[in-house]
Amino acid sequence: MSEATVADQYSAKVQDVLDKISGFTLMELSELVSAFEGKFGITAAAAAPVAVAAAAPAAAEEAAEPASYKVVLKDFGAEKIKVIKAVRAVTNLALKEAKAVVEGVPSEIKTGLTKEEAEKCLAALVESGAAAEVQAE
């Protein structure tokens, strides 16, 4: 693609970025891709041409989407009692067991969940003041 075609196709901001990165080395470009992946939560594969993605969408979804998830409590924060109550609500544990789970962070709260179930569990924990995350199993 000639420079004239690039100038006609993209906005001024995009042209400015293209001009800036045209002088990057391969290592710098690799670092830039990693920075984009970390900052925006995407992978370089997501930026692949549409034709490639359209060729095997079912296979890509199966590879990208794990079968089950788990919720891991990372920190109970300042509201330990609220977090214990939230753990009891999402797990049906007794008070003593829920307290042990919360005090033993990091700890798995629930496993074998669908993505939706894991996100509901995560939301309940985060709402109580805990730091938690959903992980693929």
Give me the residue spans of the domains in the chain: 3-63, 69-136
Token pair of 56 as six digits: 């095997």
Q: CATH for 69-136, among 3.90.25.10, 3.40.50.720, 3.30.70.1350, 3.30.1390.10?
A: 3.30.1390.10
Contacts of 70 (CB under 8 A, 6+ apart): 108, 109, 110, 111, 112, 113, 118, 134, 135, 137
Amino acid present at 95: L
**What does pTM read for this prediction?**
0.52
Each of the 137 residues of the chain gets a pLDDT tens digit; together they read 555 555 568 888 888 888 888 887 877 777 887 787 778 777 665 554 444 444 455 555 555 677 889 999 999 888 899 999 999 999 888 999 999 989 998 889 988 888 889 899 899 999 999 999 998 88
